[in-house]
Amino acid sequence: MSRSLTKIDLEKARRIQMLIAKKVLEEDDFELPIKYVGGVDVAFKSKYSIGAVVVLDFEKLNVIERNFYVSEANVPYIPTYLAFREIRVMVGAIKRLPIKPNIFLVDAHGKCHPRRAGEATHLGVLLNIPTIGVAKSYLTGKERADGFIVDNNEVLGYRLKPNVYISVGHKVSLQTAIEIVKKLTVNEIPEPIKHAHIYANEVKNRLII
């Protein structure tokens, strides 16, 4: 028998996203100098979702702290509504951190979303923390020759690499977000995102269900 999933009211979810988008601060509002940066990712195993967060030293890029949170994934996968499926475990993992990063990189879109409220935005507004969306694939808008992604002349984000799409989450400007992600990218993927992904899968592989 397949497990039951909680149905979500997409119209209500859409309204929530539009309200969240209105609360976004696209200006730098975080403590300087940056000492710690967080990376957030989610993995799945059977009926469970696993929120993973790592904290890195901003200058040395070594991992300082890691934590995770596991919960049943009761909401189905619906493109552009992923926050309603994943946000709970992201929040749970972050709240377990003994160290508070100056800013978080989230393996998800932020403003580069049809309703300008991807998971990075949703998380930032919900917890009132600075976030940057760093997604691995294109979602919406058109890419200009200079790498910026626009929709009706509104700048939504920036493609740094073929698999690195940057957009504002909350409490950070796009230009600062680009600069931070560039600094944190040693190879193909920004270090906080890379380590969060590795850790999420480590937890997934040792999770006994």
pLDDT of residue 2: 42
Where do the domains of the chain lie, and which CATH numbers do they carry?
Answer: 10-137+144-206 (3.30.2170.10)
The crossing angle, in degrees rounded to 10, of helices 10-22 and 119-127 is 60
* pLDDT tens for each residue of 15-67: 999 999 999 999 999 999 999 999 999 999 999 999 999 999 999 999 999 99
pLDDT of residue 50: 98
Q: With CA atoms as reference, report the closest residue to 158 among 105, 103, 112, 108.
A: 112
d(CA 43, CA 61): 23
Residue 5 pLDDT level (bands cut at 50, 70, 90): low
pLDDT higher than threshold 50 for residue 1 = no
DSSP β-bridge partners for residue 18: none
d(CA 122, CA 21): 8
Tokens at 183, concatenated: 């600094």
* pLDDT tens for each residue of 137-196: 999 999 999 999 999 989 999 999 999 999 999 999 999 999 999 999 999 999 999 999
Distance set, CA 71 to CA 57, 74, 88, 131, 188 (Å) = 28, 9, 8, 23, 30
